[in-house]
Structure 1
């Protein structure tokens, strides 16, 4: 069964539905990209198709690149070719001469969001659990499907840099406020209806960067306000990373260099910086630790066999000093009742006061309420 299915309704609106076989989530790999490219060719050749809706049959839209595939790449030339192939496919999609709408039924991260950015419009179900972002930096990589070029041209360099450098994952409301998502829908039926309506109302859309009158939101890399950002951003990133995370530097380089050239050249620049990271030992180490090993731990594979899972309801802590006070705070935060024991009641109360101080700071920042503070402290005896 193909990982992509296409249907065309009576109004000439084609719906491409991604459904990768034997995978809980859709990921960008050969099994998905090959049929995707074939259907793009069919759309280009069929004059009867008036618009395209791209969506998913799974709970989430598209998780991003297949990490197994990326991890196995050791040849920089192959890494460059993989990035270029994805870009060429997405470029054909946005230049196919028909309106293309991403109907986001769930999470779209990394390459998943890059696919959505290549569409002319994005409609998402208003699901508070859905996440949107370009978190590749967390694995020592950068967005390799045009993300470092499309996102800054869409929402501006100053707004897009933190999202990529910190790998922020936005909820649906925040993504709409940022301008990454255009419309919200209550459910799948409304999402698809809005997507079709937009296709019919906009027969000849053009991506902002393909418009001859295009101007960068907030200015390109040569704009005085943006120049100030790039004057301090590298040193700030260096202070945080101590020069150990080349992905941050490569992302800034992609955005800066892409900000002084045309879109196509910027995409090639991105592919080169992407290839540099994919084959680096840093990314291999980060993927190995923060992806494979962490997922293994989260799935409980490090648990000894023959011991059932248990949940701590009440925790006794011997010593209310710096370590004990900290343990009490993080334990109470997740709902565990704590008993602090020290040589004097004054020492034990001091340990509890540590949590009260942290909660007072959270209240000042609007992250906690006085009522919430009381409930929290009641868990610490």
Structure 2
């Protein structure tokens, strides 16, 4: 658990938890930490303590199993004193040892995150190996929690509120070099030997080390209870200048949807006004309130546990040997194809980027070239590495250059005939083991596979734009897609370090189908006479990244029109009978307002100025005399997406609710505080959700009407992620 040794009168506690890939916080490590720290503190021959690790990382934070148990527990039924003491125990021992009278040094050899970095904050001095891949930080806010072992109290006292508050609120993680600049650590070391030597040297020079907030400064009224925070205390003018507008900015950014950020601000504000012994109790109190909040439970389940499993390839067929993809062919050198080429080359694969001419393909290569230039200018990559990545991309107009590719990704326009043409043209040069993937966002894969001579090796691989930033890839199984094709595609997605979800075939699949309801419902609301500004503000206040009309402009209204025309041709459903179809048709055919691309859409885009909602909307669609509330609009936008996701699960498009949650957050920005679209339904409660859907259906149309299976679940007290979680498909 902890390897204990003494060298030159200095105790070295090296974390080394057996059976764990990383050192983590749990009851076993807690007991071992106390045992070994007490041993060192009580030994009169020990003059200082170095805390290090024998694993590749320093300390990773909370144990996953312990966290699951903690989140599953109903803390409201516990004795308050017992519950508090359980949550406070790490805080208590950290405080005990930082005031024990012996200098403590953290020798950080790898990742120090969450509770791992809080161990470092307990120490009087922090040295880290200068490894740019190492991450140091307190990421708890990203999953709905706050640092619960002193992080919200020690960090502001250490580096000041101005730097600490954004670091805590955003859950930042930084490299050792950046950590040194920020003041998170004191020193960098080139290798483990130098780090150990530096730690010993510091202990020898500081035999009576204390934390700065525990020092009594003679001649000044600055005792333990009046520590001067770097940059100014809460009561100082600078402190007031930071916290007052900071609170307003926090509300503007979070829209009140993220309780962890509010709790962190409260911890800092209240904690910095009292001594450390009381401050850490304030922190624990807020930590306990977050544990009982469904936001934290939902975010941790999806963004922590589910994401980890997805990134490990949980959906990959287990009986198919892994494929090391070495060469990838990209058909189409537009922004999407060029983005796919970039992430593939960045992962070390050879890339053949094909377009109708070499000139077009070379032009597409400019996109990765520009991204690499930015990486070099920002110091994230050296020039030699950038040139090496770019050299992996070969621009061509010849289909025969696709010989030897393990995977082909077609990224041409959303036109069935064009996709069929490039499929047949390319397949003639592929080996029998090569997989052909289509990056279509809406067209059914089974239909596209009809153009292929090998439908078993034909699959959908849906990227999101911009490819270099968007973390999700939606993999679509056609009726004849083989397990081998799926396994190879997941191997590829994992190699480019993106998160895969696997869905079954249908028009729009999962993500495009559900995301489309957000824009279509927003357009529909506007056309009914709800003020466009109210529609947009309701979207962002609900937690969506941008309003639905803004999204429609960005995606392009004429592109939505083309998709609707293709759907009309394939299904026979007229555009006018598709959600928001009449508005989209009018904007394209009559008004020629295509969106941001031609600077005219639901917004106006002046050359020199900020975009604004087009005033003509109010003439085309007069306002209702009585406008709905923001809450009503928020509910309508979120519920519309959610009922579509439920239908996807029932129809077997989605394989499980967890994939639906991951996809909704990563693909189109469904509010992360909900934990994803199915967690949102659970948070509302199925009985309430069904009741509200019926009300919305009566008012606005059958698209809101709940399914019979959803009614059964609600009647039986079931949920998508609860004890009675149902497999609907």
TM-score (structure 1 length as normaliser): 0.87
Pick from 205, 211, 217 the counterpart of residue 230 of structure 2.
Answer: 217
Matched, 1:59 2:59: no
> Match for residue 122 of structure 1?
126
Matched, 1:241 2:254: yes
CA distance in 2, matches of 1:202, 1:93: 16
> Match for residue 27 of structure 1?
24
Displacement, 1:188? 2.3
Q: Structure 2 vs 1, CA of residues 211 and 295 (structure 1 numbering), >3 Å: closer, same or farther?
A: same
Displacement, 1:319? 4.9
CA distance in 2, matches of 1:370, 1:55: 35
Displacement, 1:22? 1.2
> Match for residue 232 of structure 1?
245
> Match for residue 4 of structure 2?
6
The gaps in structure 1 that reach 5 residues or longer are none
Displacement, 1:277? 1.5
> Match for residue 306 of structure 1?
319
Superposed CA deviations along residues 337-359 of structure 1, whole A, max 9, x for unmatched, are 242436x8887677556556666
Please say if residues 332 and 353 of structure 2, whose CA atoms lie closer than 8 Å, have aligned partners that are also in contact: no
Q: Structure 2 vs 1, CA of residues 193 and 369 (structure 1 numbering), >3 Å: closer, same or farther?
A: closer
Q: Secondary structure at the match of 2:265?
A: helix
Q: Structure 2 vs 1, CA of residues 374 and 56 (structure 1 numbering), >3 Å: closer, same or farther?
A: closer
Superposed CA deviations along residues 138-174 of structure 1, whole A, max 9, x for unmatched, are 2211110001100110111111122222222121111
CA distance in 2, matches of 1:323, 1:180: 39
Displacement, 1:69? 1.0
Please say if residues 51 and 99 of structure 1, whose CA atoms lie closer than 8 Å, have aligned partners that are also in contact: yes
Displacement, 1:137? 1.3
Displacement, 1:196? 2.0
Q: Structure 2 vs 1, CA of residues 67 and 368 (structure 1 numbering), >3 Å: closer, same or farther?
A: closer
Q: Secondary structure at the match of 1:309?
A: coil
Q: Secondary structure at the match of 2:393?
A: coil
CA distance in 1, matches of 2:376, 2:131: 27
Please say if residues 91 and 149 of structure 2, whose CA atoms lie closer than 8 Å, have aligned partners that are also in contact: yes
> Match for residue 161 of structure 1?
165
Q: Secondary structure at the match of 2:126?
A: strand
Matched, 1:296 2:309: yes
Please say if residues 83 and 271 of structure 1, whose CA atoms lie closer than 8 Å, have aligned partners that are also in contact: yes
Within 5 Å, give how 1:74-113 maps onto structure 2.
74=73, 75=75, 77=80, 80-113=84-117
Pick from 37, 41, 51 the counterpart of residue 38 of structure 2.
Answer: 41
Q: Matched residue pairs, number?
A: 377
Q: Structure 2 vs 1, CA of residues 211 and 23 (structure 1 numbering), >3 Å: closer, same or farther?
A: same
Q: Structure 2 vs 1, CA of residues 67 and 141 (structure 1 numbering), >3 Å: closer, same or farther?
A: farther
Please say if residues 138 and 173 of structure 2, whose CA atoms lie closer than 8 Å, have aligned partners that are also in contact: yes
CA distance in 1, matches of 2:24, 2:17: 8
Pick from 68, 71, 79 the counterpart of residue 71 of structure 1.
Answer: 68
Q: Structure 2 vs 1, CA of residues 49 and 350 (structure 1 numbering), >3 Å: closer, same or farther?
A: closer
> Match for residue 151 of structure 1?
155
Displacement, 1:367? 6.4
Displacement, 1:249? 1.7
The gaps in structure 2 that reach 5 residues or longer are 217-221, 396-729
Root-mean-square deviation (CA, aligned residues, Å) is 2.9
TM-score (structure 2 length as normaliser): 0.47
CA distance in 2, matches of 1:88, 1:242: 34
Q: Structure 2 vs 1, CA of residues 99 and 378 (structure 1 numbering), >3 Å: closer, same or farther?
A: closer
Q: Secondary structure at the match of 2:267?
A: helix
CA distance in 2, matches of 1:172, 1:229: 27
Pick from 204, 210, 217 the counterpart of residue 200 of structure 1.
Answer: 204
Please say if residues 356 and 377 of structure 1, whose CA atoms lie closer than 8 Å, have aligned partners that are also in contact: no
Bigger radius of gyration = 2
Q: Structure 2 vs 1, CA of residues 380 and 260 (structure 1 numbering), >3 Å: closer, same or farther?
A: farther
Q: Structure 2 vs 1, CA of residues 8 and 235 (structure 1 numbering), >3 Å: closer, same or farther?
A: same
Q: Secondary structure at the match of 1:72?
A: helix
> Match for residue 353 of structure 2?
339
Q: Secondary structure at the match of 1:306?
A: coil
Matched, 1:183 2:187: yes
Q: Structure 2 vs 1, CA of residues 174 and 353 (structure 1 numbering), >3 Å: closer, same or farther?
A: closer
